[in-house]
Amino acid sequence: MVNLAQHASVASKKSKMQEDARVINTTMNWMYKEKEYAPTFEEIQADGLCGFVYIITNQLTGRKYIGQKKLISITRRKVKGKTRRVTTKSMSNWQDYWGSSRTLLEDVEKFGKEHFTREILDLCEAKGLMNYLELKYQMERNVLFTDDYYNGIVNIRLNETAIRNYGDRCKF
């Protein structure tokens, strides 16, 4: 038999955690070249941007995380009576994004988002460039060989065309 008081208490805690997450999400903004980065969807499209490579730093421990995030979300849906799918572009969830490392996300929850900085290292016009630059920054900093980074895996798909198209930006 389910204890209704316990069930209500658990539901209340979950609701409180979800509410706290929504409130905290707006406290730390992305920085790019020492300025807050908050473009509109139209500005992102006009600049031809795909996404960015970033570093998140825990200000209490100095531990860091290097990753990438797309700025635009592209969805394709089937339309009845049509043979081609309809493509829709919209803003991704990048403003509220805190990385994909479980350990990092646990620390963000434990210490609070106000103790972390989110900095954009490079804005990218193409996915291939974004993949390459993320790998480059990770390898330059030896993220897999030190406990100074939350990164526990490097998983990049890369082809030569992506690298050749961006010349000097893709050199070590």
Domain 17-170 has CATH 3.30.2010.10: no
- The domain spans of the chain are 17-170
Alpha-carbon distance 44 to 65, whole Å?
24
How far separated are the first and last CA of the chain, in Å rounded? 63
CB 14 within 8 A of CB 81: no
Q: Which of 93, 98, 100 is nearest to 71 (CA)?
A: 93
Alpha-carbon distance 165 to 133, whole Å?
13
Alpha-carbon distance 60 to 79, whole Å?
50
- In terms of Cβ atoms closer than 10 Å to its own Cβ (0-12, 13-18, 19+), residue 147 is exposed
pLDDT in 10s for each residue of the chain, 172 residues: 444 444 444 444 444 444 443 333 344 799 999 999 999 999 999 999 999 999 999 999 999 999 999 999 989 888 888 888 888 899 999 999 999 999 999 999 999 999 999 999 999 999 999 999 999 999 999 999 999 999 998 888 888 877 777 777 776 6
